[in-house]
């Protein structure tokens, strides 16, 4: 069965949905709010076999996808290696995944600068209204409009993102600017710093235009830092005094917020990461939020990707989860028609999203675990370091549960949406 579909949001989740539906013969129109081509979001993306296979299924290129890594390495505060682990993985960039998906869509199917404001499910079709007053109608509507989704806001007004209590600072360093003495020991690896109260993961990715040549790549730093909820509005206020809700565009982050971040880095991070940060382009931060929708479809309307559920970045799963949503959506509506297909889609994807969401929260909790004030400040003795290192940004096949640090027993998996803070 095929038909017409409107996809709201033209980022990776929307592109995957559009590509998967198009591959099954659906006629798709994508409306993306941003008036300019999207670029550079999220910087580094860790890939999984599932993601590569999903790209292949929608006929997107996986050639030269990213940088191949073989080893994970944890450093202590003094810069010594405290743990090594063999874990081959390809790390790519947000831009690369966006580009290969974008190329799968025919011209005219993707409209930029078009914002959908509401939908009307009319039973035998669904109609959307855009901010310029234009209307469009189709058999199926997919809300792939991110964690602040307007489509979810109308469908499930009680589901709102909750602030986790910490932010992620991200920065990119050009390989040519990377400190010379750290190029062989730090640059080639998936690096960790795992003290109690903060966390760094960092790895090399392609350079601009997917340049994979040694000397032309970049190094991607991801640094989780606690920010009291009372301090967040101040950090989200720009130089003009405008307070942004939920996130702030990177160029608008105030210099004094960056200065405070640098002082914190000097205090808490290994010297080697401070030096790498000093060599980076302007760092930017994103508060970490959680939400999980109890259903991912109603009537003729589906939610996918971050609009449906956010798995915190620790699992490196956002893109793969969006791909899994897209493939399941296209399979189900093509096999069973829109209404039955969407019910099957929701039944399949809510538990799967819940697993990624829950595992991500468990990983996040391991940054701020209970302990004495000075425990593991040097990053040498994380109680479940091995689990954190082999679970971070690894596809949760079989759901690896954190062993209890005292008994060594594996905790019972939680298969329901998690409600703990």
Ligand X SMILES: Cc1cc2nc3c(=O)[nH]c(=O)nc-3n(C[C@H](O)[C@H](O)[C@H](O)COP(=O)(O)OP(=O)(O)OC[C@H]3O[C@@H](n4cnc5c(N)ncnc54)[C@H](O)[C@@H]3O)c2cc1C
Contact 319/14 with Cβ under 8 angstroms? no
Which residues, numbered 221-240, are part of the site for ligand X (CB under 6 A)?
A: 222
Q: Check binding of 191 to ligand X (CB under 6 A).
A: no
Angle ∠(102,107,108) on CA atoms, nearest 5: 110
Least distance in angstroms from the C-beta of 210 to ligand X: 16
Contact 128/8 with Cβ under 8 angstroms? yes
Q: Check binding of 136 to ligand X (CB under 6 A).
A: no
Contact 191/75 with Cβ under 8 angstroms? yes
Q: Check binding of 396 to ligand X (CB under 6 A).
A: no
Strands laid side by side in the 81-93 sheet? 44-46, 81-93, 67-75, 190-193, 198-205, 218-226, 162-174, 284-292, 309-310
* Part of the chain binding ligand X (CB under 6 A), chosen from 39-47, 80-88, 290-298, 409-417: 39-47
Least distance in angstroms from the C-beta of 131 to ligand X: 8
Q: Kindly give, in sequence order, each residue whose CB lies less than 8 Å from that of residue 108, ignoring residues fewer than 6 positions away.
A: none
Least distance in angstroms from the C-beta of 268 to ligand X: 18
Q: Check binding of 14 to ligand X (CB under 6 A).
A: yes
Least distance in angstroms from the C-beta of 94 to ligand X: 6
Q: Check binding of 287 to ligand X (CB under 6 A).
A: no
Can you tell me the distance from the alpha carbon of 44 to that of 172, in angstroms, rounded to the nearest whole number?
9
* Part of the chain binding ligand X (CB under 6 A), chosen from 41-49, 105-113, 274-282, 334-342: 41-49
The crossing angle, in degrees rounded to 10, of helices 94-102 and 49-57 is 20
User: Of 320, 334, 346, 391, which one interacts with ligand X (CB under 6 A)?
Assistant: 320
Which tokens is 50 given? 């599932």
Q: Check binding of 247 to ligand X (CB under 6 A).
A: no
DSSP run (H or E) holding 298: strand 297-298
User: Of 186, 303, 322, 330, which one interacts with ligand X (CB under 6 A)?
Assistant: 322
Q: Check binding of 277 to ligand X (CB under 6 A).
A: no
Contact 344/401 with Cβ under 8 angstroms? no
User: Of 318, 354, 379, 383, which one interacts with ligand X (CB under 6 A)?
Assistant: 318
Nearer to ligand X, 34 or 125 (CB): 34
| Three-state secondary-structure class, residue 265 | helix
Q: Nearest residue to ligand X, using CB? A: 318
Q: Is the alpha carbon torsion for 55, 337, 317, 94 positive or negative?
A: positive
Nearer to ligand X, 47 or 332 (CB): 47
Can you tell me the distance from the alpha carbon of 253 to that of 397, in angstroms, rounded to the nearest whole number?
38
User: Of 5, 7, 28, 45, which one interacts with ligand X (CB under 6 A)?
Assistant: 45
Which residues, numbered 85-124, are part of the site for ligand X (CB under 6 A)?
A: 115-116
Contact 79/186 with Cβ under 8 angstroms? no
Q: Check binding of 6 to ligand X (CB under 6 A).
A: no
Can you tell me the distance from the alpha carbon of 105 to that of 60, in angstroms, rounded to the nearest whole number?
10
Which residues, numbered 328-387, are part of the site for ligand X (CB under 6 A)?
A: none
Least distance in angstroms from the C-beta of 78 to ligand X: 26
Q: Check binding of 11 to ligand X (CB under 6 A).
A: yes
Nearer to ligand X, 224 or 387 (CB): 224
Least distance in angstroms from the C-beta of 391 to ligand X: 13
Least distance in angstroms from the C-beta of 407 to ligand X: 31
Q: Check binding of 32 to ligand X (CB under 6 A).
A: yes
Which tokens is 267 given? 């205090």
Number of residues that bind ligand X (CB under 6 A): 36
User: Of 5, 7, 8, 60, which one interacts with ligand X (CB under 6 A)?
Assistant: 8
> What's the start-to-end Cα distance of the chain, in Å?
42
Least distance in angstroms from the C-beta of 303 to ligand X: 9
Pick left, alpha or beta for residue 272 (phi over 0 → left; psi -120 to 50 → alpha; otherwise beta): alpha
Q: Is the alpha carbon torsion for 186, 187, 191, 195 positive or negative?
A: positive
Give the residue from 17, 30, 23, 16 showing the smallest Cα distance to 2: 23
Residue keyed to tokens 């939920």: 246
Nearer to ligand X, 112 or 125 (CB): 112
Least distance in angstroms from the C-beta of 348 to ligand X: 17
Contact residues for ligand X (CB under 6 A)? 8-14, 31-34, 38, 42, 45-46, 115-116, 144-146, 150, 168, 170, 222, 286, 305-307, 313, 316-320, 322, 393
């Amino acid at each position: 069965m095929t038909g017409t579909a409107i996809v709201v949001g033209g980022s990776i989740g929307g592109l995957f949905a559009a590509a998967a539906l198009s591959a099954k013969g659906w006629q798709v129109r994508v409306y993306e709010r941003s008036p300019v081509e999207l670029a550079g979001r999220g910087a580094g993306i860790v890939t999984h076999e599932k993601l590569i296979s999903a790209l292949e299924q929608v006929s997107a290129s996986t050639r030269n996808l990213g940088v191949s890594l073989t080893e994970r390495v944890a450093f202590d505060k003094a810069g010594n290696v405290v743990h090594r682990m063999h874990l081959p993985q390809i790390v790519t960039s947000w831009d690369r995944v966006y580009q290969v998906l974008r190329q799968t869509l025919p011209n005219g199917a993707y409209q930029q600068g078009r914002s959908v404001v509401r939908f009307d499910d009319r039973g035998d079709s669904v109609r959307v209204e855009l901010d310029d007053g234009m209307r469009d109608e189709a058999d199926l509507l997919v809300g792939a409009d991110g964690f602040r989704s307007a489509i979810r806001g109308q469908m499930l007004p009680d589901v709102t993102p909750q602030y986790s209590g910490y932010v992620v600072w991200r920065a990119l360093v050009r390989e040519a600017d990377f400190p010379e003495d750290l190029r062989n020991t730090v640059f080639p690896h998936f690096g960790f710093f795992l003290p109690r109260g903060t966390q760094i993961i960092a790895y090399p990715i392609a350079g601009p235009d997917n340049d994979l040549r040694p000397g032309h790549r970049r190094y991607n730093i991801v640094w989780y830092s606690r920010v009291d909820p009372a301090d967040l509005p101040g950090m989200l206020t720009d130089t003009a005094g405008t307070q942004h809700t939920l996130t702030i565009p990177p160029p608008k982050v105030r210099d004094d917020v960056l200065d405070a971040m640098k002082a914190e880095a000097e205090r808490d991070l290994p010297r080697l990461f401070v030096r790498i940060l000093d060599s980076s382009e302007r760092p930017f931060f994103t508060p970490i939020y959680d939400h999980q929708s109890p259903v991912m479809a109603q009537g003729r309307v589906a939610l996918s990707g971050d609009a449906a559920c956010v798995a915190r970045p620790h699992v490196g799963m956002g893109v793969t989860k969006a791909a899994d949503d897209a493939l399941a959506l296209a399979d189900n509506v093509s096999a069973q028609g829109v209404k039955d297909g969407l019910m099957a889609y929701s039944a399949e994807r809510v538990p799967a999203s819940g697993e990624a969401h829950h595992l991500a929260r468990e990983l996040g909790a391991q940054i701020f675990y209970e302990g004495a004030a000075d425990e593991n400040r040097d990053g040498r003795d994380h109680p479940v370091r091995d689990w954190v290192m082999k679970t971070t940004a690894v596809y949760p096949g079989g759901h690896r549960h954190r062993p209890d640090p005292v008994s060594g027993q594996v905790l019972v998996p939680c298969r329901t949406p998690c409600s703990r803070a």
